[in-house]
Amino acid sequence: MIRPDFKKMDGLIPAIAQDAETGEILMMAYMNEQSWDKTLETGEAHYWSRSRKTLWHKGGTSGHTQKVKSIRIDCDDDTLVLLIDQIGGAACHKGYRSCFYRELKDGEVTQCAPLVFDPKEVYK
């Protein structure tokens, strides 16, 4: 069994959500021990909300959950990659497929991920 070293970085470690099929990076959030344990228990991604200071079940409000297929840990035990199935099509709370929906290339910023839902309709 692997277990992240939560003693580092004040108990929070980066967790990158990556589409298990396509390899697309969908989002980055933080996990603490509680969110790690809940993710292992449920098979769905749970994170720690730094702004709300609470456990956060990804998709708990929107229905856009993340089914965890596997978890990779780096050599220092302080960064995770969650290979997931993104249920509902959107990982970003702004309604985009990926939180990394903007790209800077050749001095131009473009949208590089589709808008999946209107957040005003989902987060009422």
Binding-site annotation: residue ranges: 74-76, 78, 92, 99
Closest C-alpha to 39, from 57, 26, 22, 27: 57
Pairing of strands 80-86, 13-19: parallel
Instruction: Measure the CA–CA gap between 86 and 18, rounded to whole angstroms.
Output: 9
Q: Which residue positions form the known binding site for Mg(2+)? A: 74, 76, 78
CA–CA distance, 103 with 31 (Å, rounded to integer):
26
